[in-house]
Amino acid sequence: MTANNPTTSQDLKQLTKQRDFFKGILIAACILWPFVIAAAIYFYYKKGNIALFIPACTIFIGFLPIYLRFKALSSEIKAKKLS
């Protein structure tokens, strides 16, 4: 019966759109993070500058809330599809 409800369908589409947006952000972060680590290692050995390790570590911690929101959206979408 709930499949005929247009608000549920529209809500499911919006949740899927948000999940895909967060997934894109996480993929981009996972692609860029190794480059930041490589740059930090390069500048540490060439210049003796350890300052780039701070952003390299905080990027990982900064994207943790996005990952948690992505997981919550995924589980919510699965729950709505089952009902």
Q: pLDDT 10s per residue in the chain (83 long)?
A: 445 554 567 788 999 999 999 999 999 998 988 898 888 888 889 988 788 788 888 888 889 999 999 999 999 999 988 87
How many CB atoms are closer than 10 A to CB 70? 19
Tell which residue, 29, 3, 5, 21, has the closest CA to residue 73.
21
Instruction: Work out whether the CA dihedral 81, 76, 22, 29 comes out positive or negative.
Output: negative
Q: CA–CA separation, 70 vs 1, rounded Å?
A: 28
Q: Return the pLDDT at 40.
A: 86
